[in-house]
């Protein structure tokens, strides 16, 4: 008897859980890096040549709701093809990041930890030396990164979905050029404001002119090392957990979320959420003392954990775990935004008066930088995906990032953050969705929606949908014409008005 969609669905869910278990072991420091290739090598039955025809035949005779679910399963099977054919190279890159060392003077740290060290270094000349050493070592990985990109393209061609970008758009159900247009609009509509506020931050915080700013200066501003003593896991997570209990949305809902306090996390590790089995087995890893980026990551992880834990267990596997990940990213980013809310920061960080005002301004500038950087990265990744000579695009990367952010980027870092399937587009769509949801919550439940008892039932019902709907469908449910940048543009301008 041939393979059935029920068997494919069951094997896919078990395989997905095994992958996330492996990722969790690496994120928590139990392993030096994830090794996914061996997992793929045991799953020949999930090869696209066996699964895609079965799912396609089932779609042809399915009703509307079943067809929608099967199309998600079909997309997962196609993505499995892309990932399986690149797993060995991905493992090799993970091993390189965990073992290759950035060295200068008496300092030697793995590549995966180098950025954290650089951004925590107050002395600008020391930052420059460390960043130069990091860029030197990044050149070692360029051939490997180009091999990964080439393999993604080859695997996409084998599916018959067109080029790599077209395949990703088809598998994600997303128009990447449309996302790029919205991101470009955000850049254009914040241009004058951004140039003004970033110049002031550089003058007052770093003591340099805009034309002298380098990418590591932006990292230092975002890191805010001068605030390390004010950001503790106990006060941030403890306060949020109490608020969530008070509004009837406890983080540990039904024992679904397991909090792990890891004093010795993996390389470069900050707080994260790993959804092994949705909704029953969600790991949330936190570290005892966190930095400003760690605070944002912790809040993001809480939002993601809530989404997964409150997903209705009666939904199909596809609707629980295989939908548009921009939705869960948007829910995480909604909570990450608390780190830029004055009342929240006052309660959790102990900042008041001018110190609070200064923090909020720097956080808003750093956030605007991140959005503009992401916009430039998406534009570059689209160009990279279509290029016949991707290895020659380092100068294009540096020019785009420098022009958009005002900080000088080095061409040698052009593949440093290259991710699969245009992850930066999911981030931007998640930010747009988070801004629309934040606006809705503030209108319904006031600016302190996170403490309003009426918010709990609303969000609980909201999260129960899991990944049944796409980010665009969720945006429509919020009363928007589309998933666009309007609410996000208004949100990033708000702190400066």
Q: How confident is the model at residue 29 (pLDDT cuts 50, 70, 90)?
A: confident
Q: How confident is the model at residue 354 (pLDDT cuts 50, 70, 90)?
A: very high
Q: Which fold has domain 178-496?
A: 1.10.1370
Q: What is the pTM of this model?
A: 0.96
In the prediction, which pLDDT does 220 show? 97
In the prediction, which pLDDT does 171 show? 87
Q: What integer best gives the mean pLDDT of the chain?
A: 93
Q: How confident is the model at residue 1 (pLDDT cuts 50, 70, 90)?
A: low
Q: How confident is the model at residue 410 (pLDDT cuts 50, 70, 90)?
A: very high
Distances (CA, A) of 424 to 276, 379, 458: 23, 10, 29
Q: pLDDT, tens digit, for every residue of 66-122?
A: 999 999 999 999 999 999 999 999 999 999 999 999 998 888 999 988 998 999 999
Q: What percent of the chain has pLDDT over 90?
A: 82
In the prediction, which pLDDT does 126 show? 95
In the prediction, which pLDDT does 418 show? 81
Rounded average pLDDT over 337-366: 94
Q: pLDDT, tens digit, for every residue of 152-180?
A: 999 999 998 888 999 999 988 899 999 99
Q: pLDDT, tens digit, for every residue of 245-288?
A: 999 999 988 899 999 887 655 555 678 999 999 999 999 998 76
Q: pLDDT, tens digit, for every residue of 205-228?
A: 999 999 999 999 999 999 998 887
Q: How confident is the model at residue 388 (pLDDT cuts 50, 70, 90)?
A: very high
* DSSP β-bridge partners for residue 286: 261
Q: How confident is the model at residue 63 (pLDDT cuts 50, 70, 90)?
A: very high
In the prediction, which pLDDT does 233 show? 59
CA dihedral of residues 312, 317, 320, 323 (deg, nearest 10)? -150
Q: How confident is the model at residue 349 (pLDDT cuts 50, 70, 90)?
A: confident
Write down the domain spans for the chain. Answer: 5-173, 178-496
Please state, in angstroms and rounded to a whole number, the distance separating the CA atoms of residues 113 and 194: 29
Identify the weakest region by mean pLDDT among 50-54, 250-254, 360-364, 485-489.
250-254
Cβ–Cβ contacts within 10 Å for residue 314, how many?
Answer: 8
In the structure encoding, which two tokens stand for residue 365, read together?
């500038």
Q: pLDDT, tens digit, for every residue of 141-150?
A: 999 999 999 9
């Amino acid at each position: 008897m041939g393979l059935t969609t029920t068997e494919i669905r069951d094997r896919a869910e078990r395989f997905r859980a095994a992958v996330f278990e492996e990722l969790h072991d690496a994120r928590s420091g139990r392993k030096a890096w994830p090794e996914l290739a061996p997992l793929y090598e045991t799953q020949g039955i999930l090869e696209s040549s066996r699964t895609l025809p079965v799912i396609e035949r089932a779609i042809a005779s399915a009703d509307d709701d079943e067809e929608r679910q099967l199309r998600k399963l079909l997309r997962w099977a196609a993505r499995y093809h892309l990932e399986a054919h690149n797993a060995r190279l991905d493992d090799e890159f993970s091993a390189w990041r965990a073992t290759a060392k950035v060295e200068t003077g008496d300092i030697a740290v793995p590549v995966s930890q180098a950025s954290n060290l650089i951004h925590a270094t107050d002395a600008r000349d020391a930052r420059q030396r460390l960043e130069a050493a990091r860029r030197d070592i990044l050149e070692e990985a360029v051939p490997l990164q180009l091999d990964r990109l080439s393999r993604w393209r080859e695997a996409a061609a084998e599916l018959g979905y067109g080029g790599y970008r077209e395949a990703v758009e088809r598998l994600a159900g997303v128009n990447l050029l449309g996302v790029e247009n919205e991101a470009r609009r955000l850049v254009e509509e914040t241009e004058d404001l951004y140039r003004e506020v970033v110049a002031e931050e550089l003058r007052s915080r770093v003591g340099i002119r805009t034309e002298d700013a380098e990418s590591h200066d932006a990292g230092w501003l975002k890191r805010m090392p001068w605030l390390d003593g004010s950001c503790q896991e106990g006060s941030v997570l403890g306060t949020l957990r109490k608020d969530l209990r008070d509004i009837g949305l406890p983080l540990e809902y039904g024992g679904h979320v397991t909090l792990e306090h890891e004093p010795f996390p993996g390389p470069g590790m900050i707080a994260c959420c790993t959804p092994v089995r949705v909704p029953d087995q969600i790991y949330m890893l936190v570290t005892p003392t966190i930095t400003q980026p760690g605070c944002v990551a912790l809040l993001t992880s809480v939002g993601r954990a809530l989404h997964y834990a409150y997903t209705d267990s009666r939904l199909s596997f596809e609707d629980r775990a295989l939908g548009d990940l921009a939705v869960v990213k948007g829910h995480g980013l909604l909570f990450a935004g608390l780190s830029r809310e004055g009342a929240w920061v006052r309660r959790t960080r102990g900042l008041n008066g001018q110190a609070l005002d200064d923090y909020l301004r720097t956080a808003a500038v750093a956030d605007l930088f991140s959005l503009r950087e992401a916009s430039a990265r998406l534009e570059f990744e689209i160009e990279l995906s279509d290029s016949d000579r991707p290895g020659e695009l380092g100068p294009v990367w540096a020019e785009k990032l420098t022009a958009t952010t005002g900080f000088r980027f080095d061409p040698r870092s052009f593949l440093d953050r290259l991710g699969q399937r245009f992850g930066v587009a999911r981030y931007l769509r998640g930010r747009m969705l988070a801004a629309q949801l934040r606006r809705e919550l503030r209108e319904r439940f006031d600016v302190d929606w996170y403490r309003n008892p009426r918010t709990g039932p609303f969000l609980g019902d909201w999260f129960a949908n899991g990944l049944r709907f796409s980010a665009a469908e969720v945006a429509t449910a919020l009363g928007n014409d589309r998933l666009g940048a309007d609410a996000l543009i208004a949100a990033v301008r708000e702190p400066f008005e």
